[in-house]
């Protein structure tokens, strides 16, 4: 197939890991006879320096035209002043909004050879293979009213208000996506809420049940967010697909990242209605190691695998890339964050070597 992929290297180690993601995608294109055209654009701090805005119009327009977007990371101490009017993260938010991305996917698998890097006992990590689907556009982060005021006649008591709001439409579309993703996996969806306390959670649960009826081959279970937080540390292997609202998802996805042992290993995808998606490692710009050529490229390369799977429908290619990463780790290849000494490019080369030759039959996954 022919596909246009926009690369947004961003700041810090972003350019180093995106270069690795590009090598992985180019290797896939060669092995499986695809034509990928890459376009590089500015986003984040580097865009602020060059244009005064974190997401130039030209970047957004290019992303809208593309089949998929691969981003490194944005931000860093240089743009961190609390008084700064323009901030790198605004670029990411504007991009998600501009592309209509409402779900953030974070798969977490624990490679057996890396179990010792996690603070959890190896027996708690065996078989962990879960996929978080976090709602990205609603909830406390965006609800209105949102204010701070001095309470009249209180003698100076200040109150602040955030609003947790969801519509049935917002809930249904993200839960439906979770079920579609669960189909080719183990077919199990866990919806996480706080329905014993919150009205928005009661609506969430009702809508989740209604959507589940459309997917008779899958199962739905509900869990309260507090007990889900414990279960992630005690029995994470019992989860398949987890769907939850914005704030719960923000917290639980970071908790789940601990399972894998290093921030440098984990990919993410942000999806909307169509196939266009934004793919990025979960880590930030890592200013402490930027420019040294030692960043772990695995999170970005696995993000490239998600790009192949969800935006291009190339399941076989995605699996081949994931197997290549697994193989390199199984054979003991390690970057610094994993206790090894390989550079970013050396680790990338180990992964690229292992890409299996193309196979004749292709199965594509359409969402």
Q: Is 187 exposed, middle or buried (0-12, 13-18, 19+ CB in 10 A)?
A: middle
Number of CB atoms found within 10 A of residue 293's CB: 12
In 3D space, the residue among 346, 279, 230, 226 whose CA is nearest the CA of residue 99 turns out to be 279
Residue 211 to residue 209: CA distance in whole angstroms: 6
Residues between 238 and 277 that touch ligand NAI (CB under 6 A) = 263-264
**Whether residue 288 lies in the annotated active site:** no
Measured distance CA(195)–CA(277) in Å, rounded = 31
CB atoms within 10 A of CB 77: 11
Closest contact distance (angstroms) between CB of 254 and Mg ion is: 5
> Is position 310 annotated as part of the catalytic site?
no
* Contact indicator for 129, 298 with CB cutoff of 8 Å: no
Binding of ligand NAI by 285 (CB under 6 A)? yes
Omega cis (within 30) before 145 = yes
Is residue 337 at the binding interface for ligand NAI, with CB under 6 A as the rule?
A: yes
Set 129, 141, 162, 326: catalytic member = 141
The residue annotated as part of the active site, out of 49, 57, 254, 331, is: 254
Q: Are the C-beta atoms of 13 and 285 separated by less than 8 Å?
A: yes
**Nearer residue to ligand NAI within complex by CB, 212 or 305:** 305
Q: List the single partner that 289 binds among ligand NAI, Mg ion, none, CB under 5 to 8 Å by kind.
A: ligand NAI
For Mg ion, the closer CB: 59 or 104: 104
Q: Which is nearer to Mg ion, 129 or 250 (CB)?
A: 250
Interface pattern 194-213 for Mg ion (x via CB under 5 A): --------------------
47 touches ligand NAI (CB under 6 A): no
Which distant-in-sequence residues (6+ apart) come within 8 Å of 123 by Cβ?
Answer: none
Least distance in angstroms from the C-beta of 44 to ligand NAI: 7
Q: Is 25 in the site for ligand NAI (CB under 6 A)?
A: no
Please classify residue 143 by burial: count the beta carbons closer than 10 Å to its beta carbon, then call 0-12 exposed, 13-18 middle and 19+ buried. Answer: middle
Q: Is 91 in the site for ligand NAI (CB under 6 A)?
A: no
To the nearest whole angstrom, how small is the minimum distance from the Cβ of residue 292 to ligand NAI? Answer: 10
Q: Which is nearer to ligand NAI, 140 or 263 (CB)?
A: 263
Q: How far is the CB of 82 from ligand NAI (least distance, A)?
A: 13
Instruction: Assess contact for 251 and 220: CB atoms under 8 A.
Output: no
Which of 58-66, 69-77, 99-107, 189-197 is the region at the interface with ligand NAI (rule: CB under 6 A)?
69-77
80 is an active site residue: no
The terminus-to-terminus CA distance of the chain in angstroms comes to: 18
Size of the site for ligand NAI (CB under 6 A): 21
Q: Which of 171, 295, 306, 347 binds ligand NAI (CB under 6 A)?
A: 295
| Distance in Å, CB of 284 to ligand NAI, minimum | 2
Question: Toward ligand NAI, which CB reaches closer, 76 or 313?
Answer: 76
Coil, helix or strand at residue 251: helix
Laid out side by side, the sheet with 129-135 consists of 35-40, 2-10, 68-73, 277-281, 267-271, 103-109, 129-135, 241-244, 188-193, 219-224
Residue 213 DSSP SS3? coil
Active site residues per annotation? 141, 194, 226, 250, 254
Using CB under 6 A as the criterion, which residues of the chain lie in contact with ligand NAI when the complex forms? 13, 17, 73-76, 92, 263-264, 280, 283-289, 295-296, 299, 337
Using CB under 5 A as the criterion, which residues of the chain lie in contact with Mg ion when the complex forms? 250
């Amino acid at each position: 197939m022919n596909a246009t992929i926009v690369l947004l290297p961003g700041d810090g180690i972003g350019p180093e890991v995106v270069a690795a993601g590009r090598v992985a995608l180019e290797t896939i294109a060669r092995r499986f006879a695809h034509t990928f055209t890459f376009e590089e654009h500015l986003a984040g701090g580097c865009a602020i320096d060059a244009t005064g805005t974190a997401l130039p119009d030209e970047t957004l327009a290019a992303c809208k035209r593309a089949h998929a977007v691969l981003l490194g990371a944005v931000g860093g101490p240089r743009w961190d002043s609390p008084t700064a009017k323009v901030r790198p993260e605004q670029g990411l938010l504007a991009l998600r909004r501009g592309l209509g991305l409402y779900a953030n996917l974070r798969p977490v698998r624990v490679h057996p050879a890396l179990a010792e890097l996690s603070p959890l006992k190896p027996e708690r990590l065996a078989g962990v293979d879960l996929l978080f689907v976090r709602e990205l556009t609603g909830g406390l982060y965006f609800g209105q009213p949102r204010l701070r005021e001095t309470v009249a006649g209180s003698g100076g008591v200040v109150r602040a208000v955030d609003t947790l709001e969801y519509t049935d439409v917002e809930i249904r579309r993200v839960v439906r996506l979770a079920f579609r993703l669960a189909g080719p996996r183990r077919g199990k969806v866990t919806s996480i809420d706080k329905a014993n306390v919150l009205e928005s959670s009661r609506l969430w649960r009702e809508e989740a049940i209604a959507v589940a009826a459309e997917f008779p081959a899958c199962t739905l279970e509900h869990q309260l967010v507090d007990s889900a937080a414990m279960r992630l540390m005690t029995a994470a292997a019992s989860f398949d697909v987890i769907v939850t609202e914005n704030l719960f998802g923000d917290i639980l996805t970071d908790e789940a990242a601990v399972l894998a042992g290093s921030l440098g290993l984990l990919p993410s995808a942000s999806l909307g209605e169509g196939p266009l998606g934004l793919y990025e490692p979960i880590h930030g710009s890592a200013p402490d190691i930027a420019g040294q050529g030692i960043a772990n490229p695995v999170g970005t390369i696995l993000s490239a695998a998600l790009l192949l799977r969800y935006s291009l429908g190339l399941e076989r290619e995605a699996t081949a890339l994931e197997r290549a990463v697994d193989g390199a780790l199984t054979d003991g290849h390690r970057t610094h964050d994993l206790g090894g000494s390989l550079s970013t490019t050396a680790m990338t080369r180990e992964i690229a070597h292992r890409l299996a030759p193309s196979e004749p039959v292709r199965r594509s996954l359409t969402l």
